[in-house]
Amino acid sequence: MSTLWTELILLYVALPVGLAWVFHRFSYRRAMAPLLWLASALALTVLMQDPTFDRVALVRVPLGHPHLRFSTWAPAALSEGARPGAGAPPGATP
């Protein structure tokens, strides 16, 4: 197995599964975002040290890709705040 496959499995399978196991094992119920930022920083550090990794891939935005419009507008259109009257207190008129 190549080194790249090993990195892929460790960073994107073993690390998230390990974090989930630790959270469950120790009944961690606090903010998850800081721990996910830490895991992301670890993954980014490993990727940045890899000389074969194309760093431009992290910032390249495919503006001409046909799915870009759907992937940016669909979450906004389907979110809770997009409906008229969403988030209003009960009995309030929109």
Per-residue pLDDT of the chain (94 residues; tens, 9 = 90+): 688 788 888 878 898 888 888 888 888 777 777 877 887 888 888 888 888 888 888 888 777 777 877 777 777 777 765 455 555 566 656 5
Distances (CA, A) of 86 to 4, 13, 51, 55, 69: 46, 37, 49, 41, 24
pLDDT of residue 84: 59
The pLDDT value recorded for residue 8 is 83
* Whole-model pTM over 0.85: no
Are the C-beta atoms of 60 and 54 separated by less than 8 Å?
A: no
Where exactly are the structural domains of the chain? 1-58
